[in-house]
Amino acid sequence: MRNKTFIYFFTRLNLLRWLLCVHLFFLFGEKTQAQDLHFSQFFNNPIGSNPANTGFSPDADFRAGIQYRNQFSSIIPVPFKTWSAFGDAQLLAEKLNNGWLGVGVLMMSDVAGSGLLSTNRAYGSIAYHQMLDPNNLLSIGFNAGWVGKQINLTKLTFPDQFNGVFFDQNLPTQAQLANSSFNYLDLHAGLNYAGFPTDEIYFNIGYSIQHFNRPTESFFSDRRNANRLDMRHSFFLHGNFMLSPRLLLLTNAYYTTMANSAQFQINGMLDINLSEHGELQFLIGAAHRLGESVIPMLGLSVKQWNITCSYDATVSGLRNYNQLRGASELSLIKKGIYPSGSNKSIRCPKF
């Protein structure tokens, strides 16, 4: 899932890369057009998935995490590299009537290829969570952020710089860019409903909309070539089930759509308690991104630290080019409880 701005400039690297990319992008059709950055471990990027998740963690008062994704290393010389970092916390739980405020920050950075297109994002996030009764919670949240994109002009060559043998950057070109960078305001919103029917079952369902202000991005002075971002709609369903005092089942489903593209992913993981009170837990499971990849996942929780690694094994037609090798991903999250404790009462399955 990549942005149209990237596709536009990526096709100008050189003739061979241009032909390869055109073949790949048209082979897989609209699934790859005009899409945002994404993580297979979307559940470990809560603010990025849905602003209503800000400050919503049934088993903690605050948390912070980092995430790294390395993609397409098997088919291009320099792979796409994506970083994300977030932090959020619950506030005013002792002052609000069966509710609390969530505040957080989210930062993301992505480099496509050898510095050809880099994207940096920084968001502030706020959400309000209200307990409707002891078993039901409703949340609403907003993200507001600044997005900056930049291209490295020294990495670009254009069709009129082909000398018959190779692309020569010393040759003049008629391709003129007004700017090598631009930035814009980006706005997101989301809703979340959570249910806690018993101490052994927890689920939540959410919806978010990104780029609802539909910002415009372009490296050209001619605004007719500008790309106005489409709104991105995302839905997720999450459930935790206590199967035994030593075993939790974690499930997720995630659907996102933008313009004419869509992505659907389902996850299932077993959380195995290896200690008396849950200080040490082992996680194992897999996900499937429909029509694209199978994603095995492994994780380890040590007290309030959680590390998860996954690998996207390509099962789409792209496997003929990358030999199943898609993307590797790693996330690290730290959770915590305020020293004074929290007055929110949520029945959530945990060790």
Place of tokens 């993301």: 108
Q: 268: which DSSP letter?
A: E
Q: What is the mean pLDDT of residues 70-99?
A: 82
For Cα atoms 187, 257, 185, give the angle at the middle one, nearest 5 degrees: 15
pLDDT tops 80 at residue 245: yes
The answer to the question of residue 177 being in a domain is: no
Instruction: Give the pLDDT score at 11.
Output: 36
Least confident of 28-42, 120-134, 251-265, 283-297: 28-42
Range list of β-strands (E), the chain: 62-71, 80-91, 99-112, 117-133, 136-151, 181-198, 201-210, 216-217, 227-228, 232-244, 247-258, 261-273, 280-289, 293-302, 305-314, 325-336
Total-model pTM: 0.80
- Residue with more model confidence, 261 or 85: 85
Nearby residues of 44 by Cβ (< 8 Å), 6 or more positions away: 65, 67, 308, 331, 333
Indicate which CATH number applies to the domain containing 306: 2.40.160.40
The answer to the question of residue 159 being in a domain is: no
pLDDT tops 80 at residue 177: no
pLDDT tops 50 at residue 66: yes
The answer to the question of residue 230 being in a domain is: yes
- Residue 264 carries which side chain, given as an amino acid letter? F
The answer to the question of residue 341 being in a domain is: no
Interatomic CA distance for residues 351 and 174, integer angstroms? 65
- Residue with more model confidence, 334 or 166: 334
Q: What is the mean pLDDT of residues 316-321?
A: 63
The answer to the question of residue 60 being in a domain is: yes
Structural domain including 198 reads 4-154+184-336
Phi, psi values for residue 16, rounded to 5°:
-65, -45
Interatomic CA distance for residues 67 and 45, integer angstroms? 8
The answer to the question of residue 347 being in a domain is: no
pLDDT tops 70 at residue 276: yes
Instruction: Give the pLDDT score at 341.
Output: 62
The answer to the question of residue 106 being in a domain is: yes
Place of tokens 């706005």: 187
The answer to the question of residue 70 being in a domain is: yes
The count of domains in the chain is: 1
